[in-house]
Structure 1
Amino acid sequence: MPLIMSFRRWWAAIFVAILLLPALGHFLPDAPAPMRTVLAPEARWWEDAARRLDPWINNTFGFRGAVLAAHRSYVRFIGDSQSRLVLKGEHGALYLNSEKAVEQSIGQVVRPEEVAHFLAFAQRMNAYMTAQGGRFVVVVAPNGQTANFELLPAYARQLKKSPTEFDLVAQGLKAEGVAFADVRPLFTEAKKTGPVHWLYDTHWNRRGALIAFNATMVAAGRPDLQISADDALGPPEPTMKGDLARMGGITPARPDVDYPPKGPTLDQPGQVEMPGVMQPVGMTDPFESYAYSTGHAGPRILVIGDSFTQGFWRGWLAYRASAYGWTHHRYCRFDMGAVERFKPDILIYAPTERAMQCKGEPFVAQDGPGQGGLGQGTPGNATPGNATPTKGGG
């Protein structure tokens, strides 16, 4: 008697083929899925396969993307809040593990269409400010994964690819003639003498913020507006705070480094709020806009940014500007009317790297008064109630 009857042999072959399909994942390109954290089996894996081989299999099996996506959907369905929002790096460094920030910084996620939208948006804003006789500048606050790349887990560093979205934005702005302050090489050089980004927080520290402020003033054609670190920052001191440490419920093993403000970074006397410039935001919105005149000489500077500039830059703007203001970028959907009412000499667009993308369509047909002659395709003409930034968006 044959082991398998002839009419069942085809079914057996199909069944075996289905069982072998996941194995193809070890040899074919990875399907869309979270990054592989293990790129190859450990040496002499056959001596302890459960420990040395299983992690590689778990990172490369077929249908990995679909399986993990299904798992995430199930976790959301049952209301589980134990998702890993914090990634641990080398020497205790912490990183935000959402909004594809890790993948973005190492070039594993590159969205050319969204980069193109951002470049078109920046080009239009540049044309608007040029027509007004002012200056438009872009500065991007690097993700912690970019600023402290050397402290990422080894597997993430090994997956680094070029160009990244940051690279494409820098190249595109240069090609379009838009002023851009690329702080990455400045940070690399500055780290030789001290940190520029917190280890347990998503933000740059005050030293990094000052480097970015000064680079932006240079890009704006006003190097005279720079502020020296000796005038603005006190000596480094230890700190144990950090939003990532709180988010992950992690107690840092060693202190981080902070640079306390002094001199012109502190509140300046004689400031007067400018009424009617900024529209109010909702009571639950942490990103409240502001506009002040300072009573002393200087350009009018308006920053469209996020938490990397909202508080960090405020004292320096007050020190250098005759009038200064800040409003949230809302992913290219900020209140354009605030720009027109403020009438800046220098307009700075300053998103963090993970928030560069324009969410939704940044160019909306809008005619009539209050649009400053921009007409069709006005950038960012949303009211503050629209495109409310997420917590992770800075």
Structure 2
Amino acid sequence: MPLLMAFRRWWAILFVAILALPTVGLVAPDLPAPMRTVLAPEQHWWQDAAKRLDPYINNVFGFRGAVLAAHRSYLRFIDETQGERVLQGTHGVLFIRDNDALEQSLGQVVRPHRVAGFVGLAKELDADMKAHGGRFVALIPPNAHTADFEELPAYARGQKKTPTEYDLVAARMKADNIPFVDLRPLIAEAKKDGRVYFRYDTHWNERGALLAFNAAMEAVGRPDLAVSPQEALGTAEVKPGGDLLRLGGLDQREPPDIRYPWKPAFAPRDDLAPLPGIIVGKENPLFVSRAVTTGHDGPRIMVIGDSFTNGFWHGLLAARSSAYVWTHHQLCNFDQGMIDRFKPDILIYAPTERFFPCAGKRGVAATVSGAPPKTPAPGGPLPDATAPH
């Protein structure tokens, strides 16, 4: 009598094939997956395999990307949260996990077509300003993951790849001769004298904001508009809270964050006269555009940015311009007619690293944590508008 009857042999083959899938998955092509948090088994793993080996197995099983993608789809289907939005680094420093910011800063997510979209828009804005006798510069405030790379968890630092999207942008802008400020080396140098980014917030602090403003003025050929830290920044003081503490449901931590209050001459002002006819149409309620006149001499400056310049730069712009406009980049979908209506002498395009890729009509909409692409409606909320940016 045969070991297996003929009609059961196919079932045996199928059963063995299913058992072999995890092994095949170790070498077969897979979908992109979140980075591994454990890169190797602990020493002497055989002495306590459940504790020392299981974390490694959970990071290297076959078809890991496909399995995790299916899990994300299931969580979306049942409308359940998809995990933590806050990553804790060394010394208690916190980082945002939204928008693949960590993977982007580590070169794990690289999207050349989105880099091309940014460069194309910058080239268009530069040409427009040159045609009208103005000056243009683009800059990208780095993710905290990029600026404070050494404070990421060790497993993350061990997975850094090059080039990153920031590397590609910097190289393309230089090759195409488009004015661009790479803020990374400037921030690295400034960190020798103290923090440039907050510990528990996604943003840079006032030192970082001032550094970027001065770099932009230098790049457009107006170093006379730069502001020294001694002129602008007050005595350091404790900054309670932080958006990452809120997102993580965490209590206030020690040591606290430190901020540098703007001195009165460079503090944001609410008494500036609005410029009519510049802002038209429905505004995004989270990032309302501002067009004002300052009442003194200076160039007309327009900034297209996000939360890294909104608030941080308003006092600087008021002190150094005769009139200024600030508006949100809307993932490259801002109202370009505002440039023609305002006629700036200086135009600065400054989207944060994790939000520089174009979306909607200008490019492929960003996929956030596995969610389907979102295209902003005119005047409507930005993708992931509740996230700090």
Can you give the 5+ residue segments of structure 1 that lack an aligned partner in the other structure? 364-381
- The 1:209–1:106 alpha-carbon spacing in structure 2 relative to 1, beyond 3 Å, is same
- Distance in 2 of aligned mates of 1:383 and 1:65: 32
- The 1:92–1:280 alpha-carbon spacing in structure 2 relative to 1, beyond 3 Å, is farther
User: What residue number does 1:392 align with?
Assistant: 387
- Distance in 2 of aligned mates of 1:330 and 1:169: 19
- The 1:26–1:47 alpha-carbon spacing in structure 2 relative to 1, beyond 3 Å, is farther
Aligned runs of 1:295-306 on 2, under 5 Å?
Answer: 295-306=295-306
Query: In the TM superposition, what is the alpha-carbon distance from 1:28 to its structure 2 partner?
Result: 5.4
User: What residue number does 2:322 align with?
Assistant: 322
- Distance in 1 of aligned mates of 2:28 and 2:42: 20
User: What residue number does 2:366 align with?
Assistant: none
User: What residue number does 1:14 align with?
Assistant: 14
Q: Write out per-residue CA displacement over residues 96-151 of structure 1, whole angstroms, 9 at most, x where no aligned residue.
A: 11111010000000000111111111111111110010011101111111111111
User: How much identity, in percent, do the aligned residues show?
Assistant: 58
Aligned runs of 1:336-347 on 2, under 5 Å?
Answer: 336-347=336-347
- The 1:173–1:312 alpha-carbon spacing in structure 2 relative to 1, beyond 3 Å, is same
| Structure 1 counterpart of 2:148, one-letter code | N
Aligned residues: CA RMSD: 2.1
Runs of 4+ in 1 over 3 A off after TM superposition: 1-11, 24-31, 267-270, 386-389
Query: In the TM superposition, what is the alpha-carbon distance from 1:30 to its structure 2 partner?
Result: 5.5
- Distance in 1 of aligned mates of 2:173 and 2:160: 23
User: What residue number does 1:124 align with?
Assistant: 124
Query: In the TM superposition, what is the alpha-carbon distance from 1:46 to its structure 2 partner?
Result: 1.1
- Alignment of 1:182 onto 2:177: no
- Distance in 2 of aligned mates of 1:391 and 1:270: 29
CA contact (8 A) 2:26 2:63 kept: no
User: What residue number does 2:107 align with?
Assistant: 107
What SS does structure 1 have at the residue aligned with 2:99? coil
- Distance in 2 of aligned mates of 1:258 and 1:40: 40
User: What residue number does 1:257 align with?
Assistant: 258
- Distance in 1 of aligned mates of 2:180 and 2:120: 14
Can you give the 5+ residue segments of structure 2 that lack an aligned partner in the other structure? 364-375
Aligned runs of 1:206-245 on 2, under 5 Å?
Answer: 206-245=206-245
Q: Write out per-residue CA displacement over residues 325-348 of structure 1, whole angstroms, 9 at most, x where no aligned residue.
A: 101110111111111111000000
Aligned runs of 1:349-368 on 2, under 5 Å?
Answer: 349-362=349-362
- Distance in 2 of aligned mates of 1:268 and 1:245: 28
Q: Write out per-residue CA displacement over residues 165-201 of structure 1, whole angstroms, 9 at most, x where no aligned residue.
A: 0011111111111111111101111111100001111
User: What residue number does 2:60 align with?
Assistant: 60
Query: In the TM superposition, what is the alpha-carbon distance from 1:67 to its structure 2 partner?
Result: 1.6
CA contact (8 A) 1:207 1:229 kept: yes
- Distance in 2 of aligned mates of 1:191 and 1:99: 26
The structure whose RCO (Cα within 8 Å, separation 6+) is larger is 2
- Distance in 2 of aligned mates of 1:82 and 1:71: 9
CA contact (8 A) 2:105 2:145 kept: yes
Aligned length: 375
Q: Write out per-residue CA displacement over residues 23-45 of structure 1, whole angstroms, 9 at most, x where no aligned residue.
A: 23445565311111111111111
- Distance in 2 of aligned mates of 1:280 and 1:289: 11
